[in-house]
Structure 1
Amino acid sequence: MRPSATRAASARRDGAEPAPRLHPWAKALVAALAALLPIATPSLAGDRALIDFIGFSPDFRYFAFEEFGIQDGSGFAYANLYVVDLSRDDWVAGTPIRVRADDERRPLAAIRAEAAAGAAGHLAELGIDVPVEVAALIGDGVPDIDAKSLVFGAPGYQPGAVLDRHALALATFETAAASPCADWFGTAPLGFALTLSGEGTETLLHRDAALPRSRGCPLDYRLYGVVMPFTAPVAAHAVAIISVYPGGFEGPDRRFLAVPLGR
């Protein structure tokens, strides 16, 4: 998913096509969520999406994750499942899979299960079953941190051991957007730039130009974490996860962007 791209591919499948076999991750998710279906989902203020890391393909070219939550304003549950071609920094054709309830009474568990079923064919076709190693994470409950920098390395086998130390630096700046952000929120939208440094080098991984309509009107960005394939925990196959905060009905919302660290 190139963060500055404007793609919203349809996830609709032909009715005559046979249903895909569920990916193991999807089977586990559907089973777990089915148990929660009878539980009513309360209306929440704001919209802070959560994230679930699904995995990598065996050649580490593809990475999948899900963001999900309760939409502010409407109170409708939603789930967006992204499959990223890391070599192209772009979404795989036919994704993301986006599912949103049209009624507050339809629970988040059902929406997530529907998104998992819709993505099952893509995950199976690309063999996305390599577990995710979380190399670094800035949790939402960590206070007094601006989350604009993050030092990380490949996890070692001894307690606290870290290999190949690197650092990410996130910068924000005013830019143009497809949406009338100044009219809606009284402020210019923000873009971001991400830089990777380590071993005496510094690489600009991404810098926004004009923002796509799908990004909305970002008010801020924060580094959320770095993930790697479990079988190859090195920076060349790592992905930076960035929280983006577009303006919403009840304050800033939170969504996620994935930026590959090596291509």
Structure 2
Amino acid sequence: MKPDAERAASDRRGSARAALAAAGLWIALVAGASAGDRALIDFIGYSDDARYFAFEEFGIQDGSGFAYSSVYVVDLATDSWVLGSPVKVQAEDEAEPLWQVRAEAIEQARGFIDDFGLHTPVEIAALTGDGVAAGDGKSLEFGTPPIVGRAVSDSYGLRLSTFETTAATACVEYFGAAPLGFELTLSQGTDRLVHRDASLPRSRGCPSDYRIYAVLMPFGAATLSNAVAIISVYPGGFEGPDRRFLAVPLGF
């Protein structure tokens, strides 16, 4: 075969291989679009002064099938994790049950729970459960939970919007799309911006969407001074978009 013909044949083979690889990647992404790791959440509580808030994020990891649990302790005054948080535990094989991994994570976080006095229960002011079909998760209307025999007081609205931003992770190279940040606005007559992302930290990964999940308050609270919005975030995962959680202080 002449050199030019050899090069042409080589180019055709290379193009065919690239097309097959692209098709395989597309099939994997489509097949995994609903097969990501959807974490669940458990609310641990507030500190006695309501400055600190803790929650557990847990589930079964996509790809490996290993159980995991992460305990986050958030300083609501600085909108940041406390030093040493999150506490992360992951099973070493599929035989280790989720309940056991969760128990180990809580035990490892016991020092934080005791040191920060995370003993005040959480009151759920509003919750959009995973089985709720209506809405896009970008808005939520709620009020202050009532005392027995009284109607809900006050009236608030949360609005979430997303936008392209930059991240510490190479999202375009990994997932072919820029990562999304989010903005959260609280309204009661007038709008107040409570959060807007800049460049995303590496811990956020490469999000493709966000949804409002819940609004929480310390037990017995009458205002939003120490309230927290729980936001579902969907970073790219091994088998499709995963679901993780963020806690955003509404009052500080």
The two structures have a TM-score, normalised by structure 1, of 0.80
Is 1:180 aligned to residue 170 of structure 2? yes
Q: Deviations over 1:137-175 (max 9, x none)?
A: 001011131010011111112567211211110000001
User: Which residue matches 2:240?
Assistant: 251
Distance 2:83 2:108 in 1: 13
1:227 aligned to 2:185? no
Is the 1:175–1:191 Cα contact (8 Å) retained in structure 2? Answer: yes
Does structure 1 residue 143 correspond to structure 2 residue 133?
A: yes
**Residues 252 and 157 of structure 1: is their aligned pair in 2 closer, same or farther, counting only changes over 3 Å?**
same
Listed as ranges, the matches of 1:93-132 within 5 Å are 93-132=83-122
Does 1:87 find its partner at 2:77? yes
How far does the alpha carbon of each residue in 1:52-111 deviate from its partner, in whole angstroms, 9 at most, with x for none? 001111111111100000010111111010111111111112211011112111111111
Q: Tell whether the 8 Å contact from 1:133 to 1:233 is kept in structure 2 after alignment.
A: no
Q: Confirm or deny: 8 A CA contact 1:237 1:260 kept in the other structure.
A: yes
Which amino acid is 1:235 matched to?
Answer: L
Alignment of structure 1 residues 187-202 onto 2, 5 Å: 187-198=177-188, 200-202=189-191
Distance 1:62 1:72, change over 3 A: same
Instruction: Give the SS at the match of 1:112.
Output: helix
Instruction: State which of 190, 197, 201 in structure 2 corresponds to 1:212.
Output: 201
1:228: Cα distance to partner? 0.3
Is the partner of 2:110 in helix, strand or coil?
helix
Amino acid at match of 1:219: S
Residue equivalent to 1:9: none
Tell me which residue corresponds to 1:152: 142
Letter in 1 for 2:239: E
Matched, 1:71 2:61: yes
CA distance in 2 between counterparts of 1:94 and 1:212 reads: 17
> In structure 2, what is the equivalent of residue 236 of structure 1?
225
Identify which of 49, 54, 68 aligns with 2:39: 49
In structure 1, the gaps of 5 or more residues are 1-43
Describe the SS at the equivalent of 1:237.
coil
Q: Which runs of 5 or more structure 2 residues have no equivalent in the other structure? A: 1-33
Equivalent position of 2:51 in the other structure: 61
Partner letter of residue 107 of structure 1?
P
- In 2, the alpha carbon distance for the partners of 1:131 and 1:113 equals 19
TM-score by length of 2: 0.84
- Higher helix proportion (structure 1 or 2): 2
Distance in 2 of aligned mates of 1:250 and 1:147 = 23
Equivalent position amino acid for 1:223 in 2: I
Confirm or deny: 8 A CA contact 1:156 1:163 kept in the other structure. Answer: yes
Partner of 1:15: none
Report SS of the residue matched to 2:109. helix
Which residue identity lines up with residue 216 of structure 2 in the other structure? V
Query: 1 CA distance for matches of 2:147 and 2:75?
Result: 29
Any idea what the Cα deviations from partners look like across 1:212-247, whole Å, max 9, x if unmatched? 111111010000010001121421111000000001
